[in-house]
A and B are shown apart, each in its own frame.
Chain A
Amino acid sequence: MMETHIVGKAYVLGDNVDTDQIIPARHLVYSLSDPEEKKRYGQYALSGVPDAVAGLPGGRVPFIPEGEFRSPFKVIIAGKNFGCGSSREHAPACLQIAGVAAVIAESYARIFYRNVVDGGFFIPFEAADSLVGKLCTGDEVTIDVASKTVTHAGTIYALRPLGDVETILEAGDVFAYARQSGLIPTPQPVGTPTAGRTAGS
């Protein structure tokens, strides 16, 4: 189920942040289910972003502090075509493992967006008007999930409706959605976490 409010610090990125920047390919070897190995995805999340544009407007802000596995930033603000490139699910997974609860982009690449939704990793919001340039890395933001707004220092910015995928996000992931739709006849085994939470918990 989706959280009602997401409160945390923002990390701001530009346009076309591709999956190789989100999680460089040499790291795709770690297990997504082994708890210790999986932490490395958090450690290297966004490590491929060029230093000059890592944390706008100034850049050179590490998303993950040296030697850590979790990020102090809970919300990512991005420009156009966030997550373009590869179909690697390690990309949304690494952001969730690092502690990201929502991304607000101007637009997404299709496979990345689909992976976020079907894996139930976090909420992929789109801003009605781009927030890159309006918000700075480190700004405290509050997302109201129901009313689709994000607030910083008293200013309220509108987010777009989630549309068709809200049903899947509310169900939790595509497996829960498929069970609701009667496409998986057997109930989920008791105590088994869903795919997305497996990758992130």
Chain B
Amino acid sequence: MTLTEQVLARHAKRASVVPGDNIWVDVDVLMTHDVCGPGTIDIFKKQFGAEARVWDPEKVVIIPDHYIFTADAYAHRNVDILRAFAGSQQLPYFYDVNTPRYKGVCHIALPEEGHTRPGEVLFGTDSHTCTAGAFGEFATGIGNTDAALIMGIGKLWVKVPSTLRFVFEGTMPPYLMAKDLILHIIGDIGVDGATYRAMEFAGDGVMSLSMEERMTLCNMVIEAGGKNGMIAPDETTFAFVRSRTNKPFEPVFDRPDAHYETERRYRIADIPPTVAKPHSPDNRASVREVAGTAIDRCYIGSCTGGKVSDFLAAAKVIRGKEVKVDTYIVPATTEVMREISRSTYEGETLLSIFQKAGCKIAEGASCAACLGGPSDTFGRLNKAEVCISTTNRNFPGRMGSKQSAVYLASPYTVAASAVAGTIADPREFL
């Protein structure tokens, strides 16, 4: 069995499963947030009763992150609903707004708080829940109805996916990031190339990546239609997880009987800095092919490109220069925010590097303009503007106006474009 099949079989209490099996699996963690939590809670109460208790308060994690820094009254009402529910259900893992516990973007907050563990099953009411596959677990996005069912019974039906395996050979050159690798793959297989399938990443090129970079790879499997991402756990994984939680976990490892639907092999040395042009994540080009393209702004943030290592990469390019277009810096979580004000590059904090360069720094950690959001959202594209962004999706209107256009790229490439004023190859700045 593949890694994904092993995790699902164990959680269905079966000796084995094969792709296509419909099974009910036991859930280790259910995550929801301010956009989908209220609807989930509503369905849960209707189906199980107004006084019903969640199946296991230790396993329900609620992370408000989407619409936090806005004047929108409905958005605040929705966080109030989460707060009331977490209070009445006595949920220990509610990361409330305006408290020291507030985290920000759920997919980065989950590992920071020790909720991602090898061998487990994680469902979340957000398509980028697949990010946690980087920890060697089965993790995927679901809707309100499925989440409400899990809240009540701790189980969900799943169709076992077949696995597409992507093997990267070689080491990462200093101008390349996991974002380039995943944009390259999506360009190859298309935005529906992995529909109903698991995408497993392997090879020395992947296993030499940090956890944050592995998360970037798994984060964007949904942009190829994938059900879940998966990377076998190793010492890098275990070191990260053990630094964040004492909870026990049972990892799964590669087995010789694993059967993959396809296996693609890439030499990292062959992959250039890559973008996805408007208006689709599979509209691939090398940065060189689009260098010089006019842009109105740059955006560095989100679950895909708003982690500490993403800002370190951007700071390496930006240090000592001024940005020539509006450049938005949106740390994914409060921990990332603290870290960029402490971590240094060449003796200067990342925050200072961005401030001196003239970047616009978010007042708080959240999803912000990655998905547009309410009209007063920080960094939102409110008119026919062109943006190059470290985020994950660039379908029409994703970051706001239907008239806007978004290029997706790595933090290196976005930073290089910020200091050049047009789309630029990071190799010219590193």
A residues near B (Cβ < 8 Å) are 16, 18, 20-21, 24-26, 28-33, 37, 48-51, 80-81, 84-90, 92, 107, 109-111, 114-115, 118-119, 164, 173-175, 178, 181, 183-184, 186, 188-189, 192-193, 195-196, 198
Nearest CB of chain A from residue B26's CB, rounded to whole Å: 12
* Chain B residues positioned under 8 Å from A186 (CB to CB): 48
Q: In the complex, are the beta carbons of A111 and B142 less than 8 A apart?
A: yes
Q: Which of B245-253, B255-263, B292-300, B369-377 touches A?
A: B369-377
6 example contacts (A-B, Cβ-Cβ < 8 A) are as follows: A20-B395, A24-B397, A81-B191, A118-B146, A186-B48, A198-B42
Does B153 interact with chain A (Cβ within 8 Å)? yes
* Chain B residues positioned under 8 Å from A92 (CB to CB): 143
Does B232 interact with chain A (Cβ within 8 Å)? no
Q: In the complex, are the beta carbons of A174 and B43 less than 8 A apart?
A: no
Given contacts A89-B144, A181-B24, A184-B47, 6 further A-B contacts (CB under 8 A): A29-B77, A51-B402, A109-B195, A111-B142, A115-B142, A198-B42
CA distance A30 to B42 in the complex (A): 13
Q: Which of B134-152 contact A (CB under 8 A)?
A: 140-146, 148-149, 152
Q: In the complex, are the beta carbons of A107 and B192 less than 8 A apart?
A: yes
* Chain B residues positioned under 8 Å from A49 (CB to CB): 396
CA distance A171 to B127 in the complex (A): 26
Q: In the complex, are the beta carbons of A89 and B46 less than 8 A apart?
A: no
- Specify which of B77, B141, B375 lies most central, judged by the most chain A CB atoms within 10 Å of its CB: B141
- Specify which of B43, B155, B191, B195 lies most central, judged by the most chain A CB atoms within 10 Å of its CB: B43
Q: In the complex, are the beta carbons of A84 and B225 less than 8 A apart?
A: yes
Q: Is the interface of A mostly helix, strand, loop or mixed?
A: loop
Question: Out of B22, B146, B153, which one reaches A164, CB within 8 Å?
Answer: B22
Q: In the complex, are the beta carbons of A119 and B145 less than 8 A apart?
A: yes
* Chain B residues positioned under 8 Å from A18 (CB to CB): 393, 395, 398
Question: Out of A28, A110, A193, which one reaches B196, CB within 8 Å?
Answer: A110
* Chain A residues positioned under 8 Å from B227 (CB to CB): 110
Question: Out of B36, B195, B280, B402, which one reaches A88, CB within 8 Å?
Answer: B36
CB 8 Å contact bits of B43-79 with A (1 = contact, 0 = none): 1001111000000000000000011000010110110
CA distance A109 to B140 in the complex (A): 13
Quick one: given A20-B393, A184-B153, A193-B46, are A84 and B191 in contact (CB under 8 Å)? Answer: yes
* Chain B residues positioned under 8 Å from A30 (CB to CB): 74
CB 8 Å contact bits of B346-380 with A (1 = contact, 0 = none): 00000000000000000000000001111100000
CA distance A115 to B22 in the complex (A): 16
Does B19 interact with chain A (Cβ within 8 Å)? no
CA distance A173 to B143 in the complex (A): 13
Does B159 interact with chain A (Cβ within 8 Å)? yes
- Specify which of B371, B373, B393 lies most central, judged by the most chain A CB atoms within 10 Å of its CB: B371
CA distance A33 to B35 in the complex (A): 14
